[in-house]
Amino acid sequence: MNSDLDNQLDRLFSLAQERQLNLDLHTDENGEPNSRVLKKVAQTAIRQKFSGKIICGHCCSLAVQTPEQVTETLKLVKETGVSIISLPTCNLYLQNLQNNHTPKWRGVTLLHVHVGDSRN
């Protein structure tokens, strides 16, 4: 998140659209509830009528946002068809990593886990 994020995303999306490229972004790889880049990405895709595919990796901050914020963001993600890739092993290692410090928070995005296939 930064004060120029909207302009930066507009430029990125314009260039990708112009060059017929898809987007693969690392978003919200932190434990900050105010980190809402995933939402901004979806809003930009709507605003620019982006036709390419969008993948957002990590999205850890979803796990520390309010249920209302999560619902709002995921509604936009669904509307735009943004794919989310979770990297739990990577994030379990990297999040809150510091020398001589035991991590207290290891960010993993909100995931539904399906064990087995209920149809069998």
72 catalytic residue (yes or no): no
**One of 18, 29, 68, 72 is an active-site residue; which one?**
29
Which one-letter DSSP state was computed for residue 61?
G
For the chain, helix (H) and strand (E) counts, in that order, are 4, 3
Q: Are 74 and 63 in contact (CB under 8 A)?
A: no
Pair of tokens at residue 7: 């302009």
- Cα 113 off chain centre by: 18
Positions marked catalytic: 29
